[in-house]
Structure 1
Amino acid sequence: MSTAGLLCLLLCLLFPSSSSSADELEILLNLATALQSSLSSSPFASWTPDSPLCSFAGVTCNSNGSVIEIDLSSKHLSGELPLDSICQLRSLEKLAFGYNSLHGILSNGLSGCTGLRYLDLANNQFNGPVPDLSTLVELRYLYLNNSVLSGTFPWGSLTAMTNLVTLSVGDNLFDSSPFPEQILSLRHLNWLYMSNSSIGGEIPPAIGGLTELINLELSDNTLTGEIPPEIGNLTNLWQLELYNNSLTGRLPVGLRNLTKLELFDASMNNLNGDLSELRFLTNLVSLQLFMNGFSGGVPAEFGEFRKLVNLSLYTNMLTGPLPQKLGSWAEFDFIDVSENFLTGPIPPDMCKQGKMKELLMLQNGFTGEIPATYGDCKTLKRFRVSNNSLSGSVPGGIWGLPSLNIIDVATNRLEGPITADIANARSLGQLFVSNNQLSGHLPHEISMAGSLVAIDLSHNKFSGEIPSTMGELKKLGSLNIDNNKFSGSIPDGLGSCTSLSDVNMAQNFLSGEIPPSIGSLPVMNSLNLSNNKLSGQIPSTLSSLRLSLLDLSHNLLTGPIPHSLLVEAYKGSFAGNPGLCSSEAVAITFRRCPSTSHLSKNTRTFIICLIVGIVFLMTLLGIFLYMHRKEEKRENYSLKEESWDVKSFSVLSFTEDEILNSIKPENLIGKGASGNVYKVALPNGKELAVKHIWRSGPPGDRRSGYWKGRRMSSPMLGRSAYGKSREFESEVETLSSIRHVNVVKLYCSITSEDSSLLVYEYLPKGSLWDQLHMGVGGGGKTELDWDARYEVALGAAKGLEYLHHGCERPVIHRDVKSSNILLDEFLKPRIADFGLAKIVQTDGSKDSTHLIAGTHGYIAPEYGYSSKVNEKSDVYSFGVVLMELVTGKRPIEPEFGEKNDIVNWVSSQLKTRARVLGLVDSRIPDPLREEALKVLKIAILCTAALPAQRPTMRSVVQMLEGAEPCKFVRVFIEKDDSGKAALVTEPAKLT
């Protein structure tokens, strides 16, 4: 070889190829172009063509100048990752883009990264399946968790990765599969994260062969069977997570071998037996076994665990005492052993290191006094020991702990006062001390606990006056001090507590007048001042309140009862006040107030006698006519032979006979508790819906409310057949006064002695229930896309908003559900079926107020403790409908588990982003899932457990309008009539 040739060869060996460097530079610059960062200081700022590529931020090169690592984790990146291009970097060993917002489908371009040892694409927003990984034979670390990946995971690709150390693929939307056996051959694994990855079946015993594992996480799956004893072979385990599966049986023998275990969570399973296998795990830091069926005692050895800071054993069947040294060694964080059968004293030193945040021990059999040591636990946020047998006084310091947001010591045997320390309780939101023997005056310093939302002092021995400064508690929503010995007057300042919705001061010794300021409280829902010594007149301001409960009985009130309170709903609300009177004749009997009329006594007596006589004669005449008509009835019954009364509410384009002739079996389209529904096709082409309601059951039907003159009760409805008459009258009264585009239109009512007909507009697409869950309607199958579902949600919300806020008197529907939302030919919704509706403060009949109205799955929780409800119950039911629209699920599904409904199910899924996204109906395209989640958030607000925490329907409409799906725009160029080009835009539907 010539000298020149040798020199050229030497230069090629000493210096990398300039063309190779240029190729890698181009690849990196293309990557920077494809991605965007929301950081003010972009990670791509140093990625410039005139800079050495090995100086790029996040890029590492080898000694030859070739790129071997790209690490851009947690850089707030978005865009689609060009893997095909990246994998042309032949020396690449590490690719890390975790914790960003990358999206799109992962291409099979990964197959080119054959030298890759580290791959991290976790915590992004990809969609679609995981590509084939079989060429990544050098891979040691694989992170794909929480990236919204779906489809079937290519488990077979793992068999070639014999050196894999970390496998993290949890929190995705993979197809269900049994535990993948391919993993069992990866003998070098030390980190296996497969939580929430749709793994079912049993944990294979061969998992005991992965002896290098230090972390094993299989939570949030559908695993069944027992925990295999072979898991005891994993002696290097530091963390074992098995929670929220369907595992059964006892903790396996051999679990004691996991002496390096620090974190163990097997909660929310069906495990049973005792905890004896755990007494050897002295390195435990966190132990969570709640919501299982464990029994027996808590091992005494737990009291000697020097690292234990978290202990959660609630909702089991554990018995006996807790170790008294429990939590005294380390910086103990929290304990929750609620809902067991534990006894003995509370361990005194769990806050010995001054770090404890939660002490939750409610619903057990603990005895003795509350240890005074907790009065110095400044970090404590939740202190709940209710429903036990504790005695003695509450340590004074507990009342004033600065971080505490709940004190719950209710239902014990505690004595003594609430001390002035409560002035320091600046974070306290809930104070529950009911059902004890607490006594003394309520300190005026309580007004300095400005975060208080709920106070319950009921059933104690408190005395003295209610502090006049209570009005300073601006956030207070609930005040229950009933069954005590409070005296003096009700503070006028309570009228400043604008969030107050529930007040119960019954069974005390309160005196003086009722402050008129109470009537100005905007959200007041329940007011009970009964069994006191209140005097004076009932303030007229109470007339402005919309109360579900009002009780002023058994006081010393005098004077006239305000007119608007003289309704059947408040019939017993004024009993035991002999000084009250009524200024007019009403259904509720009260002494008439002194009249200002100058008529003589004889004249008044004559008028009263005349009125009584007329009423008596009219009653006799009515009875005679009724009996006469009954006698004239023929044995064979038909609708046309009855005498009908037509009451129209708009101009009619049909006759009575056209309706009656159509009430026949072939036109039946639905059945309900209150009657049958028929479709009526008129000769002019118009279609109507007719509800036929039998007031006493069809003639000849022995199951009817009347049979041969005998009154019977309906086992289905739980009330007499008279109730159907009331339902009919309620529906007519409600609908006849309503005019709204989103409320079904009532044309007329046609009534007879034994039955009634309501004639509505006909909605051809049936109900929302049909469209969501049956895929059918009156007009055939229709697939509801997200735009249609959103419009249904908004329209139905506007209908309910009108009922609650737009009518002269608010209307509570009381049976809001998807089957009562009907759809026209354009899928525009109408609120229907007002058989249970209640006009606030006017319809308070005994049956309606004590009827559990509504449908299982939609009923608000307050029905469990109060039959008198308000508009917020409709809001809850509407929230359930919103959840149906988003998830596509019925309110009650077998998959939710026994005694669970859609509200509980949705709540249980709010743990990871992947699980939240998984709530969205699979029929909704991926690009629209974020839009659907906006509506799901509104649904969660609507279904808050406490009515006061739910928004009004007016607020719901505003929130829904703010959640309108993004409108994508198509842009194109079009020539006008003159031939001139113009830019044209129009909405483009996203599919």
Structure 2
Amino acid sequence: MSPESISGLLLSLIIFIIIPPSTQSDPLKTLLKLKTTLSNSNIHTFTTWNHNNPICNFTGVTCNINNTITELNLSQQQLTGTVDFNSLCSIQSLKKLSLATNHLHGTITPNISHCTNLQHLDLADNSFSGQFPWKSVAKLINLTYLSLGDNPFDKTQFPLEIFNLQNLQTLYLTNCSISGMIPEKLGTLASLHRLELSDNSLVGELPIGLTKLTNLQVLELYDNRLTGVFPTGFGNLVNLSKLDVSNNTLEGDVNELKTLTRLESLQLFENKFSGAIPVEFGEFKFLREFSIYKNKFTGELPEKIGSWAEFEFIDVSENMLSGAIPPDMCKNGKMYDILMLQNNFSGSLPESYANCWSLERLRVSNNSLSGRIPDGIWSLPRLKLIDLAMNQFEGEVSTNIGEAKSLAQLFLFNNRFSGELPEEISEASSLVEIKLMYNQLSGGLPATIGELKKLNSLHLEGNFFSGEIPESLGSCVSLNDINLAGNFLSGKIPASLGSIRGLNSLNLSGNKLSGEIPASLSSLKLSFIDLSNNMLIGPVPESLLAEAYGGSFAGNPGLCADRSKNLGRCSPVSHRSGGLGVAKYCFIGGPLVLVLLLLIACFILKRSKVKKCNNVTDGDFSWDMKQFHVISFDEGEILQSLKPDNLIGKGGSGNVYKVELGCGKKLAVKHMWRSGIDVGERKNYSSSATMLPKQKSRLPEYDAEVVALSSIRHVNVVKLYCSITNEDANLLVYEYMSNGSLWDQLHTYQKIEMGWDVRYKIAIGAAKGLEYLHHGCERPVIHRDVKSSNILLDKEMKPKIADFGLAKIMQANRDANSSHVIVGTYGYIAPEYGYTFNVTEKSDIYSFGVVLMELMTGKKPVEPEFGENKDIVSWIHDEIRSKGNVVGLVDPSIPDEAKRDAAKVLTIAIRCTMRFPAQRPSMRIIVQMLEQIEPV
């Protein structure tokens, strides 16, 4: 053998010894193997990954001039699956590996240490779990960029192994279960430019070592449990452009920050800082964002603050600040939020903000401000919220308000505004809330107010309004809450108010209203009504005499009722105080009414006999039965079972009956109400189909449910057998679910003991049902009312999604991601309603996250123990922040050996309920994540 051959053999042997066989592979085979372990919904990602294409042309692959792979970047590709780091790190030349912002899961194995040349490693924003191999990563001493945040790793103390990575410039460990104190040794990472440790369980004081990181440009420590003051020397971090320590319990003054003149964003909110705002902050020439709300700051804001750069945002709410509002924060025309509520600011609103075209929210409520509002403010084109409440502002509401086409919320209550409410307010077509109570407004209500189709809440109480309530108010179809109390309104209550199907609260008390209470109000599903202290006469509609409305009609001597302790009986004698008109009506109209009732009774009897004996199938009295599955029954078997003894449920849209066929098969039948049906009618109908309340037109809820369910075939969506309709009734016939709803099993006396296996079966089954609706239908279906009471359970506790009365099927010619309707159930409604009022599939996902929280904790979406204005989502977030333990939130009845798996489901629920819709995973990803924790 020649010397050259021997040398080659020795070299090969040396390479074989130094580089283990597991790390020697063909890069093409490695990448194609990686492709087989991943799947994605972005069809373009892997189209270039094939044997016929040079590897350097693969999407996400970067090579050097020698055609050697140096970078693999597959971030934001909607990938799911696991990653074999042992195989991937066989590509020894890799310097950059980025798999961030996908849906990858599984563990990160110690083999990652084989990527010895890595300088950039980004695995953030995935679903990697388990214990992170810090000892292995510590061997990657060339790393300058390490990003692992937003992964549900196992809880760990601050990893000291990091300090072996002395070349680090970026360290992103946000939201990856780190606890304990920040080590003093942090100051040895002198090359750090960016340090993000937010949303963890860090405790204790900021270490002195932090002050040595003089190259830092970004420092984010928000959402931890840090205490104490800014350490002496913190002002040495003069290169900082972004500082966020919000949502901790830090205290003391902020004088250490006055030298940080390069700051662009300063976030100190929700701490316990005190003292004055340093005057030097007014000279920060790069400052764009400034948020210090919920602290104890005193004194005045620097006059020049925000006047240098393109200042965008200020929130100093809930402090003890005083003095004038700085005049030049919108000087450069980029300001979008001015939030200064709950302080003691005084003086007037600076005239300069009348030209702040970029402004979207103006909130200065609960201060000591006064004077007139600059006229141009009312018409700012992007302004969505004007909140001037609880000050001493005066003057009129400008006619320019009609130009505020983006305005959704107008809060002017508890001021001294006067004059008339201009007709032009009806042109502000985006208005959702109007709260002008307790001012000195007068004149009539705008006759065109009915043009406000999005208006949800109208509060004008405690003013001097006069004249009649406009009939057009009934055209405000989205209204939920009307309060016109304590004015000088006169005339009749408009009957059109009865057509506002979603109206929940109506207060017209303390006015001069007259005439009778419109019968149309009977159709409303009101939780509150107050018509007291007016001049109303006549009988109170039967449906409004519930105990819940006690006192709602006091102070109206002319009102009567045949069954009420507080009102006189409806007889001619008892109505003398109501005037001759009532007595005359009872005396003359009574016989006519009696004759009319007899005619109606005969007509109904005739119809009943015809239907029972002759089974009429044509004409106006025919039944229309549409089948969506093969069935072995007819409408007769269904109709004869609709009687009070078979009633098993009531809801806002109708009653549900249990029907048992002759063959023993059980069905559930929903009879859906028409909005105009009187409650008395609903209560008194018999088992005869002819006595069902008359419905002259189809119901939107009925049509939505039929369209949504008629073509759906899925084991986790309730089966709709058929619909039965005629001019009198809308009936839907479903499969019967013997174990009721998930709500029943979790929160009522009907509940049964549910082990972990059952809970998991319900979670994964319901998820698959929603996945089918979002991804499996030809046209995606948004349910819009996902909640535990709409998840039904069969005899085997298999879950099925039900109640599609609010469902939205996406049209091909519409934006498939949204629907501008306020729907849903309190406690389950996604937070984006507060600023967009849009419903998307991500709104369903938020609601499903709440259901998972119910299922894993056993608690209702809203409980008194959560605290005022808090729901289960905020409670879980607060508990994790304060205790750092997800397992401790699991329902105690779940066995100890299953609590860790239940905690993993809770972690998925937390992702489902992220504040911003884009951060929530799709239902397809949720199913995959749940499948990963399937119980043995």
CA–CA distance in structure 2, aligned partners of residues 859 and 769 of structure 1: 13
Q: Superposed, which structure 2 residues align to 1:444-843 within 5 Å?
A: 444-582=423-561, 584=562, 586-590=564-568, 592-594=570-572, 783-789=757-763, 826-827=796-797
CA–CA distance in structure 2, aligned partners of residues 129 and 588 of structure 1: 70
- Structure 1 residue 499 displacement after superposition: 0.8
Tell me if the contact between 1:817 and 1:858 (Cα under 8 Å) persists in the aligned partners: no
Is residue 245 of structure 1 aligned with residue 219 of structure 2? no
Tell me if the contact between 1:934 and 1:963 (Cα under 8 Å) persists in the aligned partners: no
* Alignment partner of 1:119 out of 97, 117, 142: 97
CA–CA distance in structure 1, aligned partners of residues 26 and 911 of structure 2: 48
CA–CA distance in structure 1, aligned partners of residues 418 and 232 of structure 2: 52
Q: Superposed, which structure 2 residues align to 1:156-175 within 5 Å?
A: 156-175=135-154
SS at match of 1:173: coil
Q: Which residue matches 2:133?
A: 154
* Compared CA separation, residues 904 and 932, structure 1 to 2 (3 A): closer
SS at match of 1:459: coil
CA–CA distance in structure 2, aligned partners of residues 898 and 502 of structure 1: 21
Q: Which runs of 5+ in 1 are unaligned?
A: 10-20, 77-99, 601-648, 652-732, 738-762, 796-815, 831-856, 861-874, 942-959, 970-988
CA–CA distance in structure 2, aligned partners of residues 28 and 823 of structure 1: 45
- Structure 1 residue 768 displacement after superposition: 7.8
CA–CA distance in structure 2, aligned partners of residues 75 and 351 of structure 1: 35
* Alignment partner of 2:260 out of 253, 271, 281: 281
Q: Which residue matches 2:353?
A: 374
CA–CA distance in structure 2, aligned partners of residues 903 and 42 of structure 1: 35
- Structure 1 residue 887 displacement after superposition: 4.2
* Compared CA separation, residues 527 and 888, structure 1 to 2 (3 A): closer
* Compared CA separation, residues 786 and 398, structure 1 to 2 (3 A): same
* Alignment partner of 1:263 out of 242, 251, 260: 242
Q: Which residue matches 2:397?
A: 418
Q: Superposed, which structure 2 residues align to 1:194-273 within 5 Å?
A: 194-273=173-252
CA–CA distance in structure 2, aligned partners of residues 263 and 968 of structure 1: 37
Tell me if the contact between 2:71 and 2:97 (Cα under 8 Å) persists in the aligned partners: no
SS at match of 1:580: strand
* Alignment partner of 1:347 out of 303, 323, 326: 326
* Compared CA separation, residues 443 and 919, structure 1 to 2 (3 A): farther
Q: Which residue matches 2:873?
A: 903
**More displaced stretch, 487-496 vs 892-901:** 892-901
Tell me if the contact between 2:741 and 2:788 (Cα under 8 Å) persists in the aligned partners: no
CA–CA distance in structure 1, aligned partners of residues 124 and 320 of structure 2: 40
* Compared CA separation, residues 153 and 346, structure 1 to 2 (3 A): same
CA–CA distance in structure 2, aligned partners of residues 182 and 599 of structure 1: 91
**More displaced stretch, 885-894 vs 203-212:** 885-894
CA–CA distance in structure 1, aligned partners of residues 29 and 828 of structure 2: 62
- Structure 1 residue 550 displacement after superposition: 1.7
* Compared CA separation, residues 536 and 165, structure 1 to 2 (3 A): same
Q: Which residue matches 1:838?
A: none
* Compared CA separation, residues 961 and 553, structure 1 to 2 (3 A): farther
Post-superposition Cα deviations, 1:435-461, rounded to whole Å, max 9, x if no partner, equal: 011101101000010011110110000
- Structure 1 residue 104 displacement after superposition: 1.7
CA–CA distance in structure 1, aligned partners of residues 923 and 101 of structure 2: 31
Tell me if the contact between 1:309 and 1:333 (Cα under 8 Å) persists in the aligned partners: yes
Tell me if the contact between 2:73 and 2:97 (Cα under 8 Å) persists in the aligned partners: no
* Compared CA separation, residues 903 and 118, structure 1 to 2 (3 A): closer
- Structure 1 residue 576 displacement after superposition: 2.1
Report the residue type matching 2:445 in the other structure.
I
Report the residue type matching 1:116 in the other structure.
L
CA–CA distance in structure 2, aligned partners of residues 591 and 894 of structure 1: 41
Report the residue type matching 2:874 in the other structure.
N
* Compared CA separation, residues 594 and 790, structure 1 to 2 (3 A): farther
- Structure 1 residue 344 displacement after superposition: 0.8
CA–CA distance in structure 2, aligned partners of residues 263 and 961 of structure 1: 35
CA–CA distance in structure 1, aligned partners of residues 204 and 558 of structure 2: 71
- Structure 1 residue 532 displacement after superposition: 1.3
CA–CA distance in structure 1, aligned partners of residues 115 and 307 of structure 2: 50
Is residue 310 of structure 1 aligned with residue 289 of structure 2? yes
CA–CA distance in structure 2, aligned partners of residues 931 and 502 of structure 1: 36
* Compared CA separation, residues 32 and 270, structure 1 to 2 (3 A): closer
TM-score normalised by structure 2 residue count: 0.65
Count of residues paired in the alignment: 688
Post-superposition Cα deviations, 1:82-137, rounded to whole Å, max 9, x if no partner, equal: xxxxxxxxxxxxxxxxxx41422434334534443322222222222211133333
Is residue 183 of structure 1 aligned with residue 152 of structure 2? no
* Alignment partner of 1:101 out of 57, 65, 79: 79
Q: Which residue matches 1:798?
A: none
Amino-acid identity (%): 47
SS at match of 1:784: helix
* Alignment partner of 1:882 out of 841, 851, 863: 851
Is residue 441 of structure 1 aligned with residue 420 of structure 2? yes
* Alignment partner of 1:301 out of 277, 280, 289: 280
CA–CA distance in structure 1, aligned partners of residues 858 and 527 of structure 2: 32
- Structure 1 residue 53 displacement after superposition: 4.7
* Compared CA separation, residues 347 and 74, structure 1 to 2 (3 A): same
* Compared CA separation, residues 48 and 965, structure 1 to 2 (3 A): closer
Tell me if the contact between 2:444 and 2:466 (Cα under 8 Å) persists in the aligned partners: yes
- Structure 1 residue 545 displacement after superposition: 1.8
Tell me if the contact between 1:567 and 1:587 (Cα under 8 Å) persists in the aligned partners: no
Q: Which residue matches 1:91?
A: none
Report the residue type matching 2:851 in the other structure.
L
Tell me if the contact between 1:294 and 1:318 (Cα under 8 Å) persists in the aligned partners: yes
Tell me if the contact between 1:532 and 1:555 (Cα under 8 Å) persists in the aligned partners: yes
Post-superposition Cα deviations, 1:814-837, rounded to whole Å, max 9, x if no partner, equal: xx999xx9999844899xxxxxxx
Tell me if the contact between 1:435 and 1:458 (Cα under 8 Å) persists in the aligned partners: yes
Report the residue type matching 1:101 in the other structure.
L
- Structure 1 residue 224 displacement after superposition: 0.5
Tell me if the contact between 2:325 and 2:349 (Cα under 8 Å) persists in the aligned partners: yes
Post-superposition Cα deviations, 1:885-943, rounded to whole Å, max 9, x if no partner, equal: 454465699998999652314577999xxx999999987989x97997699669999xx
- Structure 1 residue 25 displacement after superposition: 5.3
SS at match of 2:474: helix
Tell me if the contact between 1:261 and 1:283 (Cα under 8 Å) persists in the aligned partners: yes
* Compared CA separation, residues 59 and 769, structure 1 to 2 (3 A): closer
* Compared CA separation, residues 30 and 325, structure 1 to 2 (3 A): same
Report the residue type matching 2:572 in the other structure.
P
Report the residue type matching 1:787 in the other structure.
K
SS at match of 1:786: helix
* Compared CA separation, residues 33 and 563, structure 1 to 2 (3 A): closer
TM-score normalised by structure 1 residue count: 0.61
Q: Which runs of 5+ in 2 are unaligned?
A: 10-23, 574-582, 588-643, 647-682, 688-736, 770-786, 801-825, 830-843, 892-897
* Compared CA separation, residues 30 and 548, structure 1 to 2 (3 A): closer
- Structure 1 residue 160 displacement after superposition: 2.4
Q: Which residue matches 1:745?
A: none
Q: Which residue matches 1:73?
A: 74
* Compared CA separation, residues 235 and 549, structure 1 to 2 (3 A): same
CA–CA distance in structure 1, aligned partners of residues 744 and 275 of structure 2: 50
- Structure 1 residue 968 displacement after superposition: 14
- Structure 1 residue 29 displacement after superposition: 5.8
